[in-house]
Amino acid sequence: MLSDSARKGFERAPHRSLFRALGHTTEEMSRPLIGIAHAHSSIVPGHMHLNQLVDAVKAGIYMGGGVPADFGVIGVCDGIAMNHEGMKYSLVSRETIADSVEIMVRAHAFDALVLIPNCDKIVPGMLMAAARLNIPAIIISGGPMLAGRHHGQPTDLAKVFEAVGTVGAGKMDLDELEELEQNACPTCGSCAGMFTANSMNCLTESLGMALPGNGTIPAVYSKRLVLAKQTGMKIMELLYKDITPGKILTPGSLENALTVDMALGCSSNTLLHLAAIAHEAGLELQLERVNTISGRIPRLCHLSPAGPFHLEDLDAAGGVSAVMKELDRQNLLDRHCLTVTGRLVEDNLQGSAPADGNVIKTLESPYAPEGGLAILFGNLAPDGCVVKQSAVAPEMRRHRGPARIFDSEEEATQAILSGAIEPGDVMVIRYEGPKGGPGMREMLTPTAAIAGMGLDAKVALLTDGRFSGATRGASIGHISPEAMDGGVMALVEEDDEIEIDIPARLLTLRVDEAVLETRRQNWLQPPPKVTSGVLGRYARLVGSAARGAVFKEE
């Protein structure tokens, strides 16, 4: 066992003395030492209850014959961090989480690892660490929040962000906004729609790194505690069978995750994170491949923010397993991928529920013939960009309009709320990429304001930053190369015509190449917005969003 290096032999007597200070018995000294990395805190609604899951996982590990030891990692609530300096730190935290888990595991010689995340960057950060460490590992997330109720209808956090724009347009008063605010987020858990956190928790299941139910069982259900105990017991089986992430995270499992991503209509951020996880596993996510998968996988679900359903509805309909079973019916999955159940995908799906035809449509009668995401290329995005096409109004799938240029999210938001944006405009929000932001901020505030003002079917937003999973509308992000690296984004001028053609997978700046070359010669890279601290270091090290915004190789 790896833990022998810290506990076995007469020369490790000082080490054992410290374990005894923790209350470990002599019998425990000979049992496997299982790390539990968790992100419990009292500032993140998705994480406020994770201590209960930690206790349940510990019980499962003890039942399986192991000795648990938990430690915490940081976690940013994207909703609280949104639209101010805090959002610059969200994506940055992903790398810090991966590094901190690696440090704790290697420093304390854990034999295996249970990871307990819930929200946007914590899930991929922990998966990156699992791939990097390659010791037996398993994920158990905190689970989704229940949807709120407003005027008798289900609601969620995205509706509150959009309501700010509705108030700005004079279509809602402050009293109703407060009523919505008080009712939108009624429980602990990751926000109730198919936003980034729930997208990643569902994809963790389809990657094979979590037990069935991980992505959808609501945070407040006792079934979540049962799943946590089962996870604790399962990690002992993975250890004894030597089932490691390197045997689970394969090209086939990555394809399965992308396939389920398209069927569910997940957040555009999943591509950023899957690319980073693949990188740690020694794999590569090619953006062109995303379009191939999206083109052949129908969208079977229609969850918030694009549709009326929430994660609790998906769970009641059979969860991710039911979606995978429907996909498997036409051989659209790699059935032979190993999972943390200790069994193959085909074995896991034997007892799964069939598609209900409502929350989960059949392949013959899907919500849309293509998957939820699309990658666009063109002179404005030579290395690619991503759009959540499932949340784009039909009339905006092809659009031409004049560019409205903003060099920060704050400038763009002010223009929207002041009524300066008109139907047909194409907003360009640049210098918000991984390096230029720095930190590649999510743009939920401007996109929600556009939606709240009723312009989401009339105005497009382009950025080298990101969009929240709660975003809907013609919002195209991750444009690469980013403006700070001299990408064409930096050369766009006010009133330039931009053409969006999602069916053709094209994003085109309608400006002659000779004119662009003149602009390129005259372009001066702006000074970094931050040069010190973690943001300054991140800006110097981070690579392109097209490759997952991982740190550049030395």
CA distances from 463 to 317, 498, 507 (A): 36, 13, 12
Q: Residue 354's CB: how many other CB atoms inside 10 A?
A: 13
Q: Are 317 and 358 in contact (CB under 8 A)?
A: yes
The token duo for 218 is 């609501």
Instruction: Give the pairing type, strands 460-463 and 426-429.
Output: parallel
- Rounded to the nearest 5°, which phi and psi values hold at 461? -125, 125
Q: Which of 192-206, 445-459, 534-548 has the lowest mean pLDDT?
A: 445-459
Burial-class residue 467 by CB neighbours within 10 Å (0-12, 13-18, 19+).
buried
pLDDT band for 12, please (50, 70, 90 cuts): very high
CA distances from 322 to 212, 310, 355 (A): 10, 15, 6
pTM value is 0.96
End-to-end CA distance of the chain: 33
Catalytic residues, by residue number, are: 468
pLDDT band for 510, please (50, 70, 90 cuts): very high
Is the pLDDT at 169 greater than 90, yes or no? no
Nearest to 248 by CA among 324, 386, 340, 320: 340
Mean pLDDT across the chain: 96
Q: What is the per-residue pLDDT for 554?
A: 63
Q: What is the per-residue pLDDT for 451?
A: 85
Three-state DSSP state, 102? helix
Nearest to 468 by CA among 260, 216, 191: 191
| Residue 66: half-sphere exposure toward Cβ, Cα within 13 Å | 32
Q: What is the mean pLDDT of residues 212-219?
A: 98
Q: Check whether the bond before 45 is cis (ω within 30° of 0).
A: no
Residue the block writes with tokens 């506990």: 7
Q: What is the per-residue pLDDT for 466?
A: 94
The token duo for 330 is 């036409």
Q: Are 133 and 102 in contact (CB under 8 A)?
A: yes
Q: What is the per-residue pLDDT for 456?
A: 87
The token duo for 285 is 């996510």
Q: DSSP class of residue 69?
A: E
For 111-135, what is each residue's pLDDT tens digit?
A: 999 999 999 999 999 999 999 999 9
Is the pLDDT at 472 greater than 90, yes or no? no
Q: What is the per-residue pLDDT for 327?
A: 98
User: From CA 82, how far away is CA 207, in angstroms rounded?
Assistant: 29
Q: How far is CA 54 from the centre of its chain?
A: 22
Is the pLDDT at 469 greater than 80, yes or no? no
User: How many contiguous H segments (helices) and E segments (strands) does the chain have?
Assistant: 21, 14
Q: Which helix (H) or strand (E) holds 529?
A: none
Q: What is the per-residue pLDDT for 471?
A: 79
Burial-class residue 358 by CB neighbours within 10 Å (0-12, 13-18, 19+).
exposed
Three-state DSSP state, 86? helix
Is the pLDDT at 470 greater than 80, yes or no? no
Is the pLDDT at 17 greater than 80, yes or no? yes
Nearest to 310 by CA among 149, 457, 177: 149
For 272-302, what is each residue's pLDDT tens digit?
A: 999 999 999 999 999 999 999 999 999 999 9
Q: What is the per-residue pLDDT for 29?
A: 94
Q: What is the mean pLDDT of residues 348-352?
A: 95
Q: What is the mean pLDDT of residues 516-531?
A: 96
Q: What is the mean pLDDT of residues 155-183?
A: 92
Proportion of the chain above pLDDT 70, given as a percent: 100
The token duo for 198 is 């729930």
* Angle, helix 251-264 to helix 319-328, in steps of 10 degrees: 110
Residue the block writes with tokens 């030891």: 69
User: From CA 92, how far away is CA 90, in angstroms rounded?
Assistant: 5
Nearest to 254 by CA among 217, 289, 291, 214: 289
Q: What is the mean pLDDT of residues 242-266?
A: 98
